[in-house]
Amino acid sequence: MCGIIGYSGVENSVPKLIEGLKALEYRGYDSAGIAVFTESGISVIKAKGRIANIEKILDTEYQNLESVCGIGHTRWATHGEPSDRNSHPHGTDRIRLVHNGIIENYIQLKKELSACDYSFESDTDTEIAAKLVDLNYKTSEDPLQAIKTSVEKLYGSYALGIIFDKYPGKIYAARKDSPLIVAISDKGNFIASDIPAVLKYTNRYYQLEQGEIAVVEKDKVTVYDECGSLIKKDIMTADWDVRAAEKCGYEHFMLKEIYEEPLAIVNTIRPRINDGLPCLDLPGLTDDTIKAFKRINIVACGTAMHAGFIGRTAIERLARIPVKVEIASEFRYKNPILDKDDLVIIMSQSGETADSLAALRLSKEHGAHTLAIVNVAGSSIAREADSTLYTWAGPEIAVASTKAYTVQISLMYLIAAKFALCHGKITDDEARQYLHALIEQTPVAVENALKLSDRCIQISEKISGAEHLFYIGRGIDYDIAQEASLKLKEISYIHSESYAAGEMKHGTISLITEGVPVIAICTQDHLVEKMISNIKEVKARGAYVIVICKENTHMDKEVADEVLKIPVLSDLFMPIPAITVLQLVAYHTSVIRGCDVDKPRNLAKSVTVE
Ligand code: F6R
């Protein structure tokens, strides 16, 4: 987590750093800071809280601050509470440094630096890295050498942006296991954690690889490999346009991103259907290799893992291949049973989640084939997997994932059809019918679900005062319940749990008291009767029941307090319109409760630490 930015060019860097930090604020917003070259040396401005606090300081104390080169940081606290003194940049009068990642051996290094008469102002691991660079710079007076010697001593993950007092106009950047790009423009060059930070100025960038060090100047970029040899990098082009990373009139990014779902589904799925059949075009994955897989593991975190649950249901139902869904942070330490007969699907919006990346590397070590399903092009997971499928959702800025989840599950439906065909479980005609429904009907169902926004607001009004809430469902509705519950709790701070509807009576039903809201997802025709029995069980104990069901499902009035009827698709695809309305309910509840929808407390979008 944490976002870093740097600019060296012919224009004032200050507004560029601030804008870049705002675009990176989704990576953390505990504090922010910048360090820029001025005539009197390096000026540092940093403060606890949002970037707006830095803007206030600039407006009042630094009105005429101009500088053509500087670095900036927005923090998600790991070591040390959010505070002014723990804010980045860290360092000394000679060097200033910003960091994303975790220096695991910082305690040992701190002892070594203390023995060299260094003292410390913060509780951060980053300050140790900064002082280590300072020490090596003091002895060598050569920034490159100082960085090289320092990073050799660092254990853990880092993306670093460093400036040295005697080298105005130069930004030094290094990375290992945390993302960092170098972006190129006609008016100067940038470093950044992610593309949206620079999209306003350029879409041309290099991806820094593990161990590489870059020197960024106004009119050139020099990159060295781990051994210090000069290397030439290929320039990549991001095809996200700048408006994709703006709110475009919506009150929040989350709302905008929910409304983008129909198009995101079309962009992700349509190019992958040819003559009505799935066309995945995956390096290393021929029909024969797909046929040879005996097991599938889907490994991911949070919402992406929840998309894996839907993928499991779809693949098992259609292709009859056993699928396990694993939490990446657990999987990576459990010595998983994997071999060449296994396919491991790593699902990730950002493509940088530390635990998912580690799970990917571990799966490769075990000889399994790895398939990444990733939204951010060129991200670490996308680059390291044996095969990669992109979800073309465009940039997702709100911390709560919405459109990325919807396209992940859409892609899983497509993969399920492909695997079912290769394993001879469905015919071409059946696949054509299924894919026709996927591409023609699901985007329309989402459009129609979005029209239920007012009804969602009414439901949000009903639940917004609750302290606890439950989502229940059976089968694929339980898969959806888990994501709906996460969405609500992370942005509205209402304690929410999801349960398999039939499991409530084995313990959890004791938590149901008068008025506790229970949202019952009931979209599977063959499970409606069973769900109604479970709904009656909680209703009899005082629950305030809200049922989400198909438009054509008959629901007696006395079954529920509220019924939200959603567009009808075949049962397997019902999670798509269901999640749209459930995301809207979470969104409006958060708004009603006055929460910071796009930047919920304690969270960051890109979780690059374990
Ligand atoms: C919740 C959310 C997170 C992410 C999780 C994995 O709304 O966004 O649970 O899904 O941190 O992130 P990615 O998909 O980037 O690996």
Q: How far is the CA of 228 from the centre of ligand 1 (A)?
A: 35
3-state secondary structure of 25: helix
3-state secondary structure of 593: coil
- Alpha-carbon distance of 490 to 497, in angstroms, equals 12
Phi-psi region of 378 (alpha: psi -120 to 50; beta: other; left: phi over 0): left
pLDDT computed for residue 270 by the predictor? 95
**Residue 302, ligand 1, Cβ within 6 A:** yes
Asked if residue 463 belongs to a domain, the reply is yes
DSSP string for residues in 65-93: ---SEEEEEEE--SSS-SSTTTPSPEE-S
Whether residue 469 contacts residue 582, with contact meaning beta carbons closer than 8 Å, is answered with: no
pLDDT computed for residue 605 by the predictor? 79
Structure tokens at 96: 């200033």
Give percent of the chain with pLDDT exceeding 90: 89
- Alpha-carbon distance of 339 to 299, in angstroms, equals 15
- Angle, helices 442-450/575-592, rounded to nearest 10 degrees: 30
As a whole number of Å, the CA-based R_g of the chain is 25
pTM: 0.86
Task: Clarify whether residues 309 and 192 are in a common domain.
Answer: no
pLDDT computed for residue 608 by the predictor? 79
3-state secondary structure of 24: helix
Look at residue 334 and tell me whether its pLDDT is greater than 80.
yes
Whether residue 15 contacts residue 67, with contact meaning beta carbons closer than 8 Å, is answered with: no
Work out the average pLDDT over 494-507. 96
The answer for residues whose C-beta is within 8 angstroms of residue 220's C-beta and 6 or more apart is 189
For ligand 1, mutation pick of 327, 353, 579 (most atoms within 8 Å of CB): 353
Whether residue 567 contacts residue 551, with contact meaning beta carbons closer than 8 Å, is answered with: yes
Asked if residue 608 belongs to a domain, the reply is no
pLDDT band at 606 (very low <50, low <70, confident <90, very high): confident
pLDDT band at 18 (very low <50, low <70, confident <90, very high): very high
DSSP string for residues in 323-390: EEEEEHHHHTTS-----TTEEEEEEESSS--HHHHHHHHHHHHTT-EEEEEESSTT-HHHHHSSEEEE
Q: Angle CA(232)–CA(388)–CA(5) in degrees, nearest 5?
A: 50
Asked if residue 604 belongs to a domain, the reply is no
Task: Clarify whether residues 187 and 312 are in a common domain.
Answer: no
Whether residue 91 contacts residue 146, with contact meaning beta carbons closer than 8 Å, is answered with: no
For ligand 1, mutation pick of 1, 257, 345, 349 (most atoms within 8 Å of CB): 349
Other beta carbons within 10 angstroms of residue 133's beta carbon come to: 29
For residue 606, the ligand 1 atom closest to its alpha carbon is 15
- The owner of tokens 């320039």 is 235
- The owner of tokens 């009119």 is 219
pLDDT computed for residue 497 by the predictor? 96
pLDDT computed for residue 442 by the predictor? 98
- For the chain, the distance separating the N- and C-terminal CA atoms, rounded to the nearest angstrom, is 10
Domain boundary among 422, 449, 476: 449
pLDDT band at 466 (very low <50, low <70, confident <90, very high): very high
Task: Clarify whether residues 150 and 213 are in a common domain.
Answer: yes
Asked if residue 586 belongs to a domain, the reply is yes
**Residue 391, ligand 1, Cβ within 6 A:** no
3-state secondary structure of 48: strand
3-state secondary structure of 245: helix
Query: Looking at this protein, which amino acid is placed at residue 128?
Result: I
pLDDT band at 283 (very low <50, low <70, confident <90, very high): confident
Beta bridge partners of 545: 518
Q: 365-387: per-residue pLDDT in tens?
A: 999 999 999 998 888 999 999 99
pLDDT computed for residue 240 by the predictor? 74
Structure tokens at 71: 């670095």
Look at residue 241 and tell me whether its pLDDT is greater than 80.
no
Structure tokens at 293: 């897989």
**Residue 426, ligand 1, Cβ within 6 A:** no
Largest CA distance in the chain: 80
Look at residue 77 and tell me whether its pLDDT is greater than 90.
no
Which CATH number goes with the domain that contains 564? Answer: 3.40.50.10490
Task: Clarify whether residues 74 and 189 are in a common domain.
Answer: yes
φ, ψ of residue 363 in degrees (nearest 5): -60, -40
Task: Clarify whether residues 359 and 227 are in a common domain.
Answer: no
Whether residue 31 contacts residue 75, with contact meaning beta carbons closer than 8 Å, is answered with: yes
Q: 524-555: per-residue pLDDT in tens?
A: 999 999 999 999 999 999 999 999 999 999 99
| Among the listed residues 570, 582, 556, the one whose alpha carbon sits nearest the alpha carbon of residue 492 | 582
- The owner of tokens 């959806």 is 480
Task: Clarify whether residues 470 and 429 are in a common domain.
Answer: no
Asked if residue 141 belongs to a domain, the reply is yes
Report in angstroms the alpha-carbon separations of 491 from 197, 471, 587.
24, 16, 7
Look at residue 590 and tell me whether its pLDDT is greater than 90.
yes
Q: How far is the CA of 487 from the centre of ligand 1 (A)?
A: 11
For residue 350, the ligand 1 atom closest to its alpha carbon is 15
Domain boundary among 397, 414, 449: 449
Task: Clarify whether residues 241 and 257 are in a common domain.
Answer: no
Q: State the residue range of the domain holding 28.
A: 3-245
Which CATH number goes with the domain that contains 82? Answer: 3.60.20.10
Whether residue 405 contacts residue 307, with contact meaning beta carbons closer than 8 Å, is answered with: yes
Please count the helices (runs of H) and the strands (runs of E) in the chain: 19, 27
Domain boundary among 204, 228, 245: 245
**Residue 304, ligand 1, Cβ within 6 A:** yes
Asked if residue 190 belongs to a domain, the reply is yes
**Residue 353, ligand 1, Cβ within 6 A:** yes
Task: Clarify whether residues 20 and 165 are in a common domain.
Answer: yes
- Alpha-carbon distance of 96 to 162, in angstroms, equals 6
Task: Clarify whether residues 56 and 20 are in a common domain.
Answer: yes
Structure tokens at 121: 């102002």
pLDDT band at 235 (very low <50, low <70, confident <90, very high): very high
Asked if residue 419 belongs to a domain, the reply is yes
DSSP string for residues in 488-544: HHHHH--EEEEEEGGGGGGTGGGG--TT-EEEEEE--GGGHHHHHHHHHHHHTTT-E
Beta bridge partners of 231: 223
Task: Clarify whether residues 262 and 328 are in a common domain.
Answer: yes
Asked if residue 605 belongs to a domain, the reply is no
Look at residue 281 and tell me whether its pLDDT is greater than 90.
no
Beta bridge partners of 182: 191, 206
Residue 2 falls in the annotated catalytic set = yes
Task: Clarify whether residues 81 and 208 are in a common domain.
Answer: yes
Do you know the residue count of the chain? Answer: 610
Task: Clarify whether residues 261 and 213 are in a common domain.
Answer: no
Whether residue 172 contacts residue 46, with contact meaning beta carbons closer than 8 Å, is answered with: no
Look at residue 214 and tell me whether its pLDDT is greater than 90.
yes
Residue 187 falls in the annotated catalytic set = no
Report in angstroms the alpha-carbon separations of 111 from 88, 105, 115.
21, 10, 6
Beta bridge partners of 163: 96
Other beta carbons within 10 angstroms of residue 55's beta carbon come to: 17
For ligand 1, mutation pick of 401, 487, 490, 610 (most atoms within 8 Å of CB): 401
- Alpha-carbon distance of 98 to 527, in angstroms, equals 54
Work out the average pLDDT over 186-198. 94
Whether residue 282 contacts residue 389, with contact meaning beta carbons closer than 8 Å, is answered with: yes
Number of domains composing the chain:
3
Q: How far is the CA of 488 from the centre of ligand 1 (A)?
A: 14
Instruction: Of 241-250, 471-480, 501-510, 540-549, give the lowest mean pLDDT range.
Output: 241-250
Query: Looking at this protein, which amino acid is placed at residue 29?
Result: Y
